[in-house]
Amino acid sequence: MDERWLGDCMEEWRDYGHLVMRAKWTMDGSRTLAEAAGKFRERADELEQLARAGFELEQPVNDDYAFIVRPGEESPMRLVEEDE
């Protein structure tokens, strides 16, 4: 798995205070069931990597949207915005 992916997630969290993930396009481009399954496994690995980094769902996934936060932590950029 590309470790830069987690870094990009951290940047998004720093800027916005949460991540937004969707499963809608997970299988796009798959030509076989095995390829589609592999893409689901890759997404599962990404979600587990986020969990290990301290991220959690802010609320149950609804209508394909997952809002992901780091409980007990405010993103640095959100704190700056609140001070202004």
pLDDT for res 77: 62
Here the CATH number for the domain that contains residue 66 is 1.10.10
Q: In what order do the strands lie in the sheet with 56-57?
A: 19-22, 65-69, 56-57
Contacts of 11 (CB under 8 A, 6+ apart): none
Distance between CA atoms of residues 49 and 45, nearest Å: 6
Question: How many structural domains comprise the chain?
Answer: 1
Contact yes or no for 12/74 (Cβ under 8 A): no
Residue 45 domain boundaries? 4-83
Give the model confidence (pLDDT) of 5-39 as tens digits. Answer: 667 777 877 777 788 888 888 899 999 999 999 99
Nearest to 21 by CA among 54, 55, 52: 55
Tell me the pTM.
0.73
